[in-house]
Amino acid sequence: MSKKLRFLFIFFPLCLSLTITGCGLQDLLGKNKNKTSTKKPESETIIAVSLNEEDPNKLLISKGIDDLAKKEDVKVKYMDSESEKESPLKDAKILIYQGGDVSVLQKSQSEKIPILALTRLPSGVKPEGIIIPDQEKAGELMVQTLLGKVAEGQIVILQGDPNESGSQKLLAGNKAVLSKYPKITVHTIASPAGSESVTRTSLVDFLEKNPDKVQGILAHTEKLAAQASEVLKQTQLEKKISLVGGQASVSSLMRMSNGSQIGDIDTSPYLQGANAFQWAQKIIKKETLEVNHSITSEQGEIPAKLVPVKTVTPDNLAIIQKSYTTTMQSAEQEKKEKEQKQREKSSDKDSKGKDEEKGKDQEGGKKEEGQSGDKQSAIPPGVEKVTERIKTETTREYLDAQGKVIGTEKMVNEQVKTVPPEMLKQQTEQSKDAPKDQGDQKKDEKKEEEGK
């Protein structure tokens, strides 16, 4: 077969292969490397989050968000994070809003960043969806818990902000059950935002004017429940008046274990955060939301998801208290580690900038600094024993029947092992004798291996 014919047989399949795979001949020959090397990677998904600083379960909500974000290529930026020098809204695909600076809502709308709410929003702001605890059910459960201790007499309801829809729903749930008990009279003390101290004074006055008549107190929020508990202790009525809270937290569960509160409502803050992240992802990807409720607003119907709530009683207190405490401790630890990494990262950037300012003339000095750093591993005189501490962390996740994470637990294991000083001494001597040039060192090691 002639050379020209053989070339045609080889060249034709090659062209056909390039046509099928969509590759260009220049790519195959390496002449189009700049095109692939300059290709920009896909941008990282950023979710901005603004939580309510007054929420005692703020860390649990953020942990629910962060735990799911770790499993996907998603970065979460919090509005209150000191480590964020630029606005968390920058390049954000969505804003999860529970509280904080209200102006961020208008800014988000002006920049056409969708909003996912964890509370009712001010008029004029329409979120893509709302995820909130079932407040009306929580109100009903609060009364049912109290009815185990109270059948008649007066009950005081410490309502949260009467202008807030969640507080209105709680009160509606309270009264829906209490209306069936004619022997019980109800006195409501509302607490507009920032007036908690006034509420406390009003409670003290009412108790003084109605001695031996008040049988129970329903406190909608953790802050109000804590104040009611203090008032009952100061007036020595904690054994006579039953207190039920509407927002379980580490503090309120501790009061229950001490006997100063008979019940509370678990609003599942971790699940609120987890559900918020899942919905945020669906909104970004324009996927169908798992709606089980809707809320009517001035702008129309808003798709909503009500997170189930449950009563905390002495029977299930130990389990729920352990879950809250463990998750809170884990969240606090992760927050500290994150802040430490941010500080180290910032410190590294500063030191790197200083090193670059020294210029090329100090390259030799840098090498000497590196060598002196290696000498830090030298064994001090008089050492008889060397130990190494190895620390490992294990994160355990608890999932429900649908595979959703409903709780996490972090375990830390620390091991100590003894290292012969002779081994460290030998490693130090080898480091001293090693060539300064890394290229020469690799060549020498290769020669030694070939000799063996």
What 3-state class would DSSP assign to 409?
Answer: strand
Q: Is the whole model's pTM more than 0.75, yes or no?
A: no
Return phi, psi of residue 74, to 5°. -130, 135
Residues in the chain: 452
| Residue 18: HSE in the Cβ half-sphere, 13 Å Cα cutoff | 13
Domains assigned to the chain: 45-132+271-308 (3.40.50.2300), 135-267 (3.40.50.2300), 378-434 (no CATH)
Residue pair 445/433 in contact by the 8 Å Cβ criterion:
no
**pLDDT in single tens digits along all 452 residues of the chain:** 554 444 444 444 444 343 334 444 334 334 444 444 444 445 789 999 999 999 999 999 999 999 999 998 899 999 876 555 567 798 999 999 999 889 999 999 999 999 999 998 888 898 999 999 999 999 999 999 999 999 899 999 999 999 888 899 999 999 999 999 999 999 999 998 778 778 999 999 999 999 999 999 999 999 999 999 999 999 999 999 999 999 999 999 999 999 999 999 999 999 999 999 999 999 999 999 988 888 887 778 899 999 999 999 999 999 999 999 999 999 999 988 888 887 887 776 666 655 565 555 555 444 444 444 444 445 666 676 777 777 667 776 767 676 767 777 666 666 666 766 666 666 666 555 544 444 454 455 555 555 54
How far apart, in whole angstroms, are the C-alpha atoms of residue 123 and residue 36?
49
Return phi, psi of residue 428, to 5°. -65, -45
Burial tier of 386 (Cβ tally within 10 Å: 0-12, 13-18, 19+): middle
Which ranges in 264-309 belong to alpha helices (H)? 269-284
Query: What are the CA-CA distances from residue 302 to residues 50, 276, 299, 367 (Å)?
Result: 20, 15, 8, 63
- Of 51, 57, 99, the C-alpha closest to 77 is 51
- What stretch of H or E contains 217? strand 214-219
